[in-house]
Structure 1
């Protein structure tokens, strides 16, 4: 039954059913359960990075609560059609009737406009007198300060400030300061993000910072993996396929990819091979300028626009290398997506990629030496079987580290949600 159908059915007359003893016990536990609100107003039908994080963390949180036998009532507020999609995802992963003292309600709104997101839902949450409130990413909403955990995804607008318009930097700065003033606990999805928070906002040292890491989501783990032979072919073929996923701008490092084409051009000419760079992402105001600078004979660039998960995974599987030269990232989930499909990541030298891949995996600087080193790495992976095996092993190590990321985050979130609300002036 959909969210809307269930809401309509709740107003209709229904026959009285005598509860079983077990149902009686569960109902009693639920009456005394702690009440938690998850304000998922950023969850969208297309399921972007924040949506996948919200969904995956919520699934693991519910699983952890059930396993621990905690009595919780969890209201998940979501907007419009996205609410129904979120509910279907939760049911698909966890089932509809767990028979446990964990009650989950996905509360849908008719629309998804600004008034709904930033006025109506926060008002309902404040009036609901919840014991704990979770905001999966920073939003300009007024929620109970002493009971709300707001999750910070990144401070890219500070780390890579020149790539943001002034108004955006001011807005994001005010939003971050707003939450640092109001909440006593801030969630961070990476250690790098937490380090940036302490660097740019020293006042955050007086707040409890909860590590709620990203992980390997079901949308990746449910996909079949390529065979060893498929991966070998993709990495050693005479046509090198490389994949870029992201917006076509300097923030995502697309200018570095354009420069890399010049180095690849010389390398391909020397080796008697060709290269194709597949581009999946939206155009920006910088796209025409960046694309217009490309002049290559041995390297071609193929635009794919938006692709669904199935088509994108097929492209990862086909490509030997994936390109992520961002100036900053909150986590970099597409890196794990590429690794799952045997696609070797070529990464910029930023802290979060070191965190994701582990010490020792090659990262490349944003200069001429970095471009040269990138091509040398491609050549070595293609031609040195022992080194190729070492790199593939490092990639598997990264997957194994992040496979339980959401589960670790969920256990910490559950522990936080079970604590009594902080008193004024107290850090939880």
Structure 2
């Protein structure tokens, strides 16, 4: 199979969807020895750094990869064109498969009503994508329901390919107990602490987490909350310095993240809307405990291996935090359940399901040509 890939964001987005693409490409070259790729980029100056990046993922990928300009994508002769970034940008005349991981950009998931025009623009782009794509991939049954109901897509055109966390470094987990997990500018808590990971847009629901942490503090329990991810939101910035329990450390390496997952009392993932919620599975995979919202895809990912709460109930979240601090053995129980839950997911299975979708799309293209 010759696979064309819309790769204009691949150099700049190493996490999130970038991690998804990385793990699938690693598996593709192993599962399909004859598969080759054409990566479509915005500038040919990106070719050399992109090849270098691909080589760091798997030594076999560069030898199978050609680079071309995105403006030539409509004329590709590939068997299938893959759009990993939620939307179809440059439509092609070949079968098109789009990975639509969630519909967050088109939904009102925050209080910023003034973004109504931006959301409307995204809604139209999602609708065009759904109407144009040969097939759609998504990453949870929740997201499939969202696509089917909100975009009026035939369910048979949407395939669910669950994510995984078996790419995190586990060669020597004992090192996670001894290495400083935080960057040099931040002091690692010496006792119990909670961890939160990811962006800070409204759907991440940090407001409920902050309210729950304030409730703990009001009860005399100043347990640190360590926050990893991109820059602070206005709400976080306003709180920072005034809340003695909040530490924001920005981005961390994968090795530091593994150490944080293992050493934290729990990862707290309060998001109200997720296509999948990969940090939940990552924490479980490496031996961490998880508390997450009972919302969107998160019950599907966490199963019975996490403590859950209604996404808008700070008191319920505070009660779950206190349970982990006060109930002997609860954390160990969650860790054991979490590792069993995470073992049900693998990137090899994600890739196999994705390739099956590509095969169906390619066959559809042949039948249309006939």
Q: How would you bin the TM-score normalised by the shorter chain?
A: 0.7 to 0.9
Is the CA contact 2:304–2:337 (under 8 Å) kept in the aligned structure 1? no
Q: Which runs of 5+ in 1 are unaligned?
A: 1-33, 109-119, 231-236
Matched, 1:134 2:82: yes
Q: Partners of 2:12 and 2:5 in 1: how far apart?
A: 17
Q: Partners of 2:206 and 2:272 in 1: how far apart?
A: 10
Root mean square deviation, CA, Å:
3.2
Superposed displacement of residue 86, structure 1:
5.1
Match of 2:163 among 214, 221, 227: 214
Superposed displacement of residue 53, structure 1:
0.5
Which residue of structure 1 aligns with residue 295 of structure 2? Answer: 350
Which residue of structure 2 aligns with residue 283 of structure 1? Answer: 232
Which residue of structure 2 aligns with residue 193 of structure 1? Answer: 143
- Residue correspondences, number: 353
Which residue of structure 1 aligns with residue 185 of structure 2? Answer: none
Superposed displacement of residue 140, structure 1:
4.9
Is the CA contact 1:357–1:394 (under 8 Å) kept in the aligned structure 2? no
Counting only pairs closer than 5 Å after superposition, residues 314-329 of structure 1 correspond to structure 2 as 314-329=259-274
Match of 2:339 among 385, 391, 396: 396
Is the CA contact 1:146–1:184 (under 8 Å) kept in the aligned structure 2? no
Which residue of structure 2 aligns with residue 12 of structure 1? Answer: none
Q: Which moved more, 1:346-355 or 1:240-249?
A: 240-249
Distance 1:95 1:366, change over 3 A: closer
TM-score (norm 1): 0.72
Is the CA contact 1:160–1:327 (under 8 Å) kept in the aligned structure 2? no
Computing the radius of gyration over CA atoms, which structure comes out larger, 1 or 2?
1
TM-score (norm 2): 0.82
Matched, 1:263 2:249: no
Matched, 1:331 2:276: yes
**DSSP 3-state at the match of 1:418:** helix
Which residue of structure 2 aligns with residue 35 of structure 1? Answer: 2
Deviations 1:66-107 (A, max 9, x none): 2xxxx4332233456875565445444543499xxxx61142
Q: Partners of 1:74 and 1:225 in 2: how far apart?
A: 35
Is the CA contact 1:59–1:90 (under 8 Å) kept in the aligned structure 2? no
Distance 1:227 1:304, change over 3 A: closer
Distance 1:243 1:425, change over 3 A: same
Which residue of structure 2 aligns with residue 104 of structure 1? Answer: 64
Matched, 1:422 2:370: no
Q: Which moved more, 1:243-252 or 1:128-137?
A: 243-252
Q: Partners of 2:25 and 2:197 in 1: how far apart?
A: 26
**DSSP 3-state at the match of 1:263:** helix
